[in-house]
Structure 1
Amino acid sequence: MAASSKRWAVTFSLLRGALLLIGGLVALFLPDYALKVVVVVGGTVLLVDGVLGALASQNYGIESSWPFWLSLVRGGLAALAGILLLLSPFLAGVLTVDLLSWLIGLGAIAVGLTEAFILIRYRKNFPPVWTSVAGAAIYIVLGALLIALPMTGALLLMQIGGGLVALFGLIQIVRSWGAAKERLARV
């Protein structure tokens, strides 16, 4: 992989992590405000995460032999969940909130399982393995929470989800920062 494309992959990963961290912290510390704007913020975060995740190719600047299409599938699933969430006010007349929560939750679980598959299949390419495991687990837990608690305890769900998204964003930053330091050490 060319040095320029590695730099872009690390930059997109850092940007993705920062956006996830900020969005998660807002939901964690301002749950009532976040609940009012969850459709826009949550949908945008998932959409941006999907697009930036696909652009970064999930390799974080590390040489990788796994297929690029797998990263696109993972990014596409996250982006689709974000689009569904952004369209949910319009879909609310057609679909129930529970069904929308299930769809978005299943999308998040699919993203987590895709990341878990990538980790298992290509574990040699992800130096600190715990960051990849944590990232996949956070998506799966967030999806399960959306399925299990679609309406009950909305503020609690907002805080838990916000904490998980903030943690995922922090993990993303740590993983990307490690790749950037490794890249700088080679220069």
Structure 2
Amino acid sequence: MMGNVGDYLTGAWRNMWWDMLLRGAIAIIFGLIVFFWPGLSIATFVLLFGSFVFVDGILLLLQAVTVKDGRWWVRLLQGLLSIAAAVAVFIWPGLTALMFLYIIAFYLIFAGMLQIFAAIEMRKAIKGELLLIAGGILSVIIGALMFARPLTGALALAQTIGIFAIAYGILLAILALKLRGAGHKVAAAT
């Protein structure tokens, strides 16, 4: 088993920790902007959300093609889902707030489920996958709450998503640093 862990960590993941750290930083910045921007309009929120999920999707696609493991397709699917959500909000920025809410909720639920699946598979290679599972569960919960209470105010929606993005970004950043540290330990041992 240790050989598999070492092979996995000496591969692309050890060198891609920065990608996960960048995703975490972008999520934190997005969350802070959304949470602390007084008087945020729904149009501005739509553009911020679309930009955030587009960049996250591109980074996930980068991981899908550079991290050579059996779970590349999960990152590919999550990246395509992120980009599709971004395209939807950019193409139809005039959607009603309710439709926009459903797009976000759908994205959060399915992206969270894919993240949980990836984390369960990752547990064979590293410790710290619980952080990824926690982020996925948080995503599913926020998405489900949005479906359950779709008529909450736009400000409450923005603040909820802001808090989620900050928490999610922190979890990704911690996991990235764990990946980096685990990669250095394996490299030193070999």
TM-score norm. by structure 1 comes to 0.81
Equivalent residue number for residue 147 of structure 1: 147
Compared CA separation, residues 121 and 10, structure 1 to 2 (3 A): closer
What aligned pairs does 1:83-162 form with structure 2 within 5 A after superposition? 83-90=87-94, 92=95, 96-162=96-162
Match of 2:28 among 21, 25, 34: 21
Match of 1:40 among 38, 47, 51: 47
Bigger-Rg structure (1/2): 2
Equivalent residue number for residue 70 of structure 1: 74
Q: CA deviation at 1:115?
A: 1.3
> SS in structure 2 opposite 1:33?
coil
Is 111-120 or 42-51 further displaced after alignment? 111-120
Is 138-147 or 37-46 further displaced after alignment? 138-147
TM-score norm. by structure 2 comes to 0.80
Per-residue displacement from partner, 1:149-177 (whole Å, max 9, x unpaired)? 44422212211210111110111111001
Compared CA separation, residues 109 and 11, structure 1 to 2 (3 A): same
Distance 1:116 1:7 in 2: 20
Per-residue displacement from partner, 1:124-150 (whole Å, max 9, x unpaired)? 234113201211012212322432344
Q: How many residues align?
A: 180
Distance 2:65 2:133 in 1: 13
Give aligned-pair identity as a percent: 26
Q: CA deviation at 1:4?
A: 8.1
Gaps of 5+ in 2: 1-7
Compared CA separation, residues 126 and 149, structure 1 to 2 (3 A): farther
Per-residue displacement from partner, 1:54-82 (whole Å, max 9, x unpaired)? 323499x8xx7433112101111122112
Compared CA separation, residues 31 and 129, structure 1 to 2 (3 A): farther
Compared CA separation, residues 121 and 7, structure 1 to 2 (3 A): closer
Gaps of 5+ in 1: none
Distance 1:121 1:184 in 2: 21
